[in-house]
A and B are shown apart, each in its own frame.
Chain A
Amino acid sequence: MVKIHLEHVTKLFGKVVAVDDVTLTINEKEFMVLLGPSGCGKTTTLRIIAGLEEPTEGEVYIDDEPVTYLPPKDRDIAMVFQNYALYPHMKVYDNIAFPLRLRKYPKEEIDKMVKEVAEMLRIEELLDRMPKQLSGGEQQRVALARALIRRPKAFLLDEPLSNLDAKLRVMMRAELKRLQKELGVTTVYVTHDQAEAMTMADRIAIMKDGKIQQVGSPADVFNKPVNLFVAGFIGSPPMNFIECTATEKGDQFLLDAGEFQLDVTCFKDIIKKNATSSELVLGIRPDNVMVDRERKEGLVAKATVYVIEPLGSETIIDLAIGDNIIKARTLEVVDLKMGDEVWVGFDMERLHIFDKKTEKAII
């Protein structure tokens, strides 16, 4: 199948840098998600791969062929747009058949292929309708069918689920993932929704301000974020950050957050080697915050329960430690109420420490 490679791609719109020196390889059959907040350049990157945008600098390769200046029609890729971009003046059937008609397929074959793909996506009964008469979910299936029908080298999907309601979105993301694995087509998927990225991707490329921050598997970017941005963007609720100062007290190496001190002697060498100053940021995911009424071993900070957010299967506890509010997530039944005094501890195995100045991860 097909490998897509971007080599030092930069795109300027006037003086605005939309994509900043992006180098990225998307492997064969891989489901790659470009993830980032709006305006981070992920859609522009996708449009550059599609050929709808010419990069200011850099090269695009599909299957090791340079395609940077090839028009979209010669790249043999299919794209699904955020608003689906169905042809409003054509019936669903003609919409799906359009790419084949352009390639002058014989009529019977077109008919066979349209029926086949319609069956696969369960839209057979919609073929005679106009796009206007379809619901959002149906339009999305038609757009997918139009992309699937000609077995392209690669799929490019630009936030295809963002116009659907929440329930349908969760359903479609599972279906899309299965479809991609069944067909084994290299796929680039753009989204700003970290949950979509985590659930669907083989690998995620997280972008910010036109730059790629980190590329890795969902587990990688979740467990080993390379900087504060990635750490804060992935995961819901997001990671807790507490600013602190590194201090040495005898043999002990401590992180002083004002309200509490955390003994990180075991990380002393790594911190000393990599930190640019003693100003650090402590990062801990809500799942790795321990809460108890009694002071037990490993619980280091005194906190007040700020608010309790029950979610049915789990509960999120907001805790006030001095001026900081941190979130803890627990699957256990919580018998706490607002204003209760508790003790809080952190799972040292899951601790993240970042340099405050460079925002890079130290641990």
Chain B
Amino acid sequence: MSYRRNGTKRFAILDFVPYLLLTIVIVFLLFPVYWMVITSFKRPIDTTTPTLIPFVDFQPTLRTWTDIVFGFNFYQSIRALLNSIITATVSATLCVLIGGAAGYGLSRFRFEKWKNRDIASFILAQRMMPPAVALVPLFIMMNYFRLIDTIIAIILIHTAFNLPFAIWIMKDFFDEIPVEIEEAAMVDGCTRTDAFFKIALPLAAPGLIVSWIFCLAFSWNDLMVVLAMAYNKAVTLPWMIATGHSMRALEWWTISAYGTLAIVPPMILAALIQKYIVRGLTFGAVKG
């Protein structure tokens, strides 16, 4: 909306251009999700036709959900959902705990033999390698420890893959906190550990949450590791989606239902901690 010189409002076509563009972008982004969600409510026969609007174009049905996802696949679906939740939260929490401690160490202590920068670069270098390269060795290791098809294996591998990222974020966050604040706490009567828990950690809380979310997202979305390490007991939702769970043909309706199931928990989480996600997205660009 723009204003005339005398202050009255004037509606101009140009004012709507940004909204129009935004609408196009949003439709472009959300259409696949919409398509997936409605497909999960279609009868198999309708899934091959380009029908868009429920009750108008096609008759929605809960059959996929009641018969397959929560029907004869009930046990497997719930297990996959729980596995997804457990692996993602546990590995993200482990990452934050270890990454927080390592990041603090790298930020606050001077290492003499290997310089801090070398250690930090070495840690980040773990991410240079395509994860697929490590799959076979990891499979052999996990097999040796009898961990194939356990969520422990998946948690361990996800943690290992995400840890460099968590360490770097946390190191940066701790770097931003002036060391004098902790020193002041130590002079005021804290031990170094007190100063960490009472001062540094609360101040780095946004960082902890940001790295937790990023690690969670990676773990939640991972298919490759799960595909390699799990086949039955330890499968997660992405595995359920990818395998389509069919003997006959591609069951788009089942795939869509699992896809929908897989995006619900992250959406709830995102709604709850939205402001930290924004902080995470601008991380590095706008510090402080």
Chain A residues within CB distance 8 Å of chain B: 50-52, 71-73, 77-79, 81-83, 85-89, 98-99, 102-103, 146, 156
Contact = CB atoms under 8 A, between A and B. Distances in A.
Contacts of B184: 79, 81, 85-87, 146
Contacts of B202: 89
Most B CB contacts (10 A, CB to CB) among A50, A102, A146, A156 go to A102
Contacts of A98: 185, 188
B190 interface: yes
B194 interface: yes
B138 to A, nearest CB: 40
B270 interface: no
Contact of A73 (B181, B186, B203): B186
B57 interface: no
B181 A71 contact: no
Interface in B134-192: 178, 180-181, 183-192
B188 A83 contact: no
A51 B190 CA distance: 13
B189 A52 contact: no
B186 A85 contact: no
A72 B192 CA distance: 10
Contacts of A81: 180, 183-184
A73 B183 contact: no
A71 B178 contact: no
B183 A71 contact: no
B189 A103 contact: yes
Given A88-B203, A89-B202, A89-B203, A72 B187 contact: yes
B203 A102 contact: no
B36 interface: no
A99 B190 CA distance: 8
A153 to B, nearest CB: 12
Interface residues of B, number: 17
Interface of B: 178, 180-181, 183-192, 194, 199, 202-203
A83 B177 CA distance: 12
Given A73-B188, A85-B181, 12 more contacts: A52-B186, A78-B188, A79-B184, A81-B184, A83-B178, A86-B181, A87-B184, A89-B202, A102-B190, A102-B194, A103-B189, A146-B184
Nearest to A47: B183
A50 B181 contact: no
B146 to A, nearest CB: 46
A72 B181 CA distance: 14
Contacts of A86: 181, 184
A99 B180 contact: no
B187 A50 contact: yes
A86 B180 CA distance: 9
9 contacts: A73-B188, A73-B189, A79-B187, A81-B180, A81-B184, A85-B181, A88-B203, A98-B185, A102-B194
Contacts of A78: 187-188
Nearest to A76: B189
Nearest to B180: A85
Contacts of B185: 87, 98
A52 B187 CA distance: 8
A174 B190 CA distance: 32
A85 B178 contact: yes
Contacts of B183: 50, 52, 72, 79, 81, 85
A88 B187 contact: no
A88 B191 contact: no
A78 B184 CA distance: 8
A69 to B, nearest CB: 14
B181 A87 contact: yes
Nearest to A81: B180
A186 to B, nearest CB: 15
B134 to A, nearest CB: 38
Ranked 7 nearest A-B pairs via Cβ = A85-B184, A85-B180, A102-B189, A99-B188, A81-B180, A79-B187, A73-B189
B203 A72 contact: no
B190 A73 contact: yes
B175 to A, nearest CB: 15
A73 B192 CA distance: 10
A92 to B, nearest CB: 14
A52 B202 CA distance: 22
A179 B203 CA distance: 33
A82 B180 CA distance: 9
A87 B180 CA distance: 10
A73 B202 CA distance: 21
Contacts of A156: 187
A73 B191 CA distance: 7
Nearest to B188: A99
Contacts of B188: 73, 78, 98-99, 102, 146
Contacts of B192: 71
A52 B181 CA distance: 12
